[in-house]
């Protein structure tokens, strides 16, 4: 099984549309993952019915046993998140403020504090036209999305193994932070989707640096290409300098936003489909499939 992560280093490059196109290109050979748990939207393009849903507990919060608490206030003193109030000789933790750092557990002499699992999100498995989609949804005011990403990707790999699917295609989160780091674990190939802007170029460099650091091969696809308006042909030059395969350019097409509102992807449009199919073929040559 090969895991392909579609990443961009920034939001708004069209990464999700390219990931949805790749899943559809592979038909039932891929299990799709929406690992952008803070704003999952791959399901908009791979519509299907939910077959299972479960709580994800990727965090914790402190809880006080009133019978053991002597109201000394040490927990409130060490809590940097102002999550503890001492009332009527006992401590009260506000779960919304508590970050689960466990500092209060260390200083509580009577051992009156313990941690409780916190539900941070939901993991959903959906049956779509193009196969299975696994997605995570972070609940409001929750964090630890890196752990959620790991849980979502692990479930997809498990399903792929059960079904004998040769690919897991991960629509990754933006940026290069903790959720992206989590998404890179067990990834065999990164498909870096960039756009012809200064910020797109800068964030592509950061992403490629991260792939280097993690020893994961990357290929680059330039989306929304506009000859004469690009900053710069620099993307191709960068790939040359770094010996990274450049898969090609997907032309800017005004129809794509309207088409995406009808759940269509660039693979469904006559202008963008041919270069995209060619780029995907080059991608699979790269990973020897
Ligand atoms: S440190 Fe422990 S005993 Fe002291 S107030 Fe907090 S919970 Fe109660
Ligand atoms: S676990 Fe950390 S954040 Fe939560 S109450 Fe204890 S010290 Fe405060």
pLDDT in tens, 11-55: 889 999 999 999 999 988 999 999 999 999 999 999 889 999 999
Q: Is 117 in the pocket of ligand 1 (CB under 6 A)?
A: no
CA 105 to ligand 2 center in whole angstroms: 8
Closest Cα to atom 2 of ligand 1: 108
- Ligand 2 atom with the shortest distance to the CA of 78: 7
Q: Residue 104 has which token pair?
A: 């209060």
The CA distance from 8 to 205, in Å, is: 10
Q: What is the mean pLDDT of the chain?
A: 92
Domain with CATH 3.30.70.20 in the chain: 59-118
**What is the predicted pLDDT for the residue at 27?**
85
The CA distance from 101 to 217, in Å, is: 35
- Ligand 1 atom with the shortest distance to the CA of 113: 7
Q: Are the C-beta atoms of residues 6 and 22 closer than 8 Å to each other?
A: yes
CA 192 to ligand 2 center in whole angstroms: 39
- Ligand 1 atom with the shortest distance to the CA of 111: 2
Domain with CATH 3.40.50.300 in the chain: 2-57+121-286
Q: Is 70 in the pocket of ligand 1 (CB under 6 A)?
A: yes
**What is the predicted pLDDT for the residue at 233?**
67
**What is the predicted pLDDT for the residue at 253?**
84
Instruction: Give me the residues of the chain with pLDDT under 50, please.
Output: none
**What is the predicted pLDDT for the residue at 150?**
95
In a 10 Å sphere around its CB, with 0-12 CB exposed, 13-18 middle and 19+ buried, how is residue 237 labelled?
exposed
pLDDT in tens, 224-258: 888 776 655 689 999 999 999 999 989 888 888 88
Fold of 2-57+121-286: Rossmann fold (3.40.50)
Of the candidate CATH numbers 3.30.360.10, 3.30.70.20, 3.40.50.1100, 3.40.50.150, the domain formed by 59-118 belongs to 3.30.70.20
Of 31, 37, 12, residue with least CA distance to 195: 12
Q: Is 113 in the pocket of ligand 1 (CB under 6 A)?
A: yes
Closest Cα to atom 4 of ligand 1: 72
The CA distance from 117 to 100, in Å, is: 9
**What is the predicted pLDDT for the residue at 231?**
59
């Amino acid at each position: 099984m090969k895991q392909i992560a579609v990443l961009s280093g920034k939001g708004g490059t069209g990464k999700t549309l390219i990931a949805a196109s790749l899943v559809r290109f592979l038909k039932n050979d891929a299990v799709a993952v929406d690992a952008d748990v803070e704003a999952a939207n791959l399901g908009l393009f791979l519509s299907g019915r939910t077959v299972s849903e479960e709580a994800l507990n990727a965090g914790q919060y402190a809880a006080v046993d009133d019978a053991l608490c002597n109201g000394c206030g040490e927990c409130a003193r060490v809590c940097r998140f102002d999550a503890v109030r001492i009332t009527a000789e006992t401590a009260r933790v506000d779960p919304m403020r508590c970050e689960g750092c466990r500092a209060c557990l260390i200083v509580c002499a009577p051992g009156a504090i313990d941690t409780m699992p916190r539900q941070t999100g939901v993991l959903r498995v959906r049956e779509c036209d193009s196969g299975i989609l696994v997605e995570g949804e972070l609940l409001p005011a929750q964090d630890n999305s890196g752990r959620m990403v790991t849980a979502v990707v692990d479930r997809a790999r498990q399903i792929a193994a059960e079904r004998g699917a040769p690919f897991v295609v991960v629509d990754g989160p933006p940026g290069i932070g903790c959720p992206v780091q989590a998404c890179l674990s067990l990834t065999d190939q990164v498909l870096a989707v960039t756009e012809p802007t200064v910020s797109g170029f800068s964030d592509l460099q950061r992403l490629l640096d991260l792939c280097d650091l993690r020893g994961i091969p990357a290929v680059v696809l330039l989306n929304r290409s506009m000859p004469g308006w690009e900053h710069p042909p620099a993307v191709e030059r960068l790939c040359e300098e770094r010996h990274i395969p450049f898969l090609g350019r997907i032309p800017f097409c005004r129809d794509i936003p309207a088409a995406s509102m009808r759940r269509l992807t660039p693979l469904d449009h006559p202008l963008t489909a041919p270069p995209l199919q060619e780029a995907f073929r080059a991608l699979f040559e790269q990973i020897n499939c």
